[in-house]
Amino acid sequence: MARGKVQMKRIQNPVHRQVTFCKRRAGLLKKANELSVLCDAQIGVLIFSANGKLYELATKGSMQELIERYSKATGSGSGSLKPEEQSKDTQALNAKEEVNILKQEIETLQKGIRYLLGGAAEMTFDELVVLEKNLEMWIYQIRSTKMEIMSKEIQLLRNKEGVLKAANQYLQYKMEESVEVANFAPMIANTPYPLTIQNEIFQF
């Protein structure tokens, strides 16, 4: 039986997401190790989980040696810096890159909103692609939130239904008990007292 196509989007269920992460992480590390053995390649893999846990694989040496070799190959010159200085510089560069990316996204979204409202010039193909991705993400988030709200409302209705069923059963039991008491009351009223029965026996 052929496997279905997996949609490349974030898994919402945390349990399924963790299971998928563990399986695919193990598969990725296994493939990297096989590639190193088969092709005599030096490979380094770094993985950070959603919780910040680090997983790494370095073939034919340590991860530090691979990083130094990478620095020399790219000519970044960071091999002469201390690890603390490297991390600070890397964080500063990453922060600047993130700020620039966010600025570009904000400008593109603002232009896209004006374009949708008919008050902006034509957008380029790349800008339309970015706008499309953001719209798809918003639609997905809206649908996910809507489904969560609907699930909560359904659960509340089910809880109310359970309470009403229990109350209905209790009332039905009380009604049946009242009917039995009402039917039993005339029998008690028509039954002579023991003393009366004894007196009648003695008089006979």
Phi and psi (nearest 5°) for 99?
-65, -45
56 vs 48: CA distance, rounded Å: 9
Given this model, what pLDDT does residue 195 score? 47
pLDDT of residue 190: 57
Residue 200 has pLDDT above 70, yes or no: no
Report pLDDT for 197.
47
Res 7: pLDDT: 75
Predicted pLDDT at 184: 62
Q: Residue 118 has what DSSP assignment?
A: T
pLDDT at 201: 47
Q: Which residues contact 35 (CB under 8 A, 6 or more apart)?
A: 41, 43
DSSP string, 58-80: ESSS-HHHHHHHHHHHHT--GGG
Determine the pLDDT at residue 191: 55
- 3-state SS class at 131: helix
Give me the residue label for tokens 């193990």.
Answer: 26
Contact of 115 with 123, CB cutoff 8 Å: yes
Structure confidence by residue, pLDDT tens digits, 141-196: 888 888 888 888 998 898 888 889 888 888 888 888 887 767 665 655 555 555 45
Q: What is the mean pLDDT of residues 23-37?
A: 88
Residue type, 68: E
pTM above 0.95, yes or no: no
pLDDT in tens, 33-79: 888 888 888 898 988 888 888 888 888 778 888 888 888 888 765 44
pLDDT in tens, 76-120: 654 454 555 556 666 666 777 777 777 777 777 777 777 777 765
In this predicted structure, what is the pLDDT of residue 79? Answer: 46
Q: What is the number of other CB atoms lying within 10 angstroms of the CB of residue 131?
A: 19
So what's the pLDDT on residue 53? 84
pLDDT of residue 202: 46
3-state SS, residue 115: helix
- pLDDT at residue 128 above 50? yes
Q: Report the distance separating Cα 106 and Cα 151, nearest Å.
A: 33
CB 33 within 8 A of CB 25: no
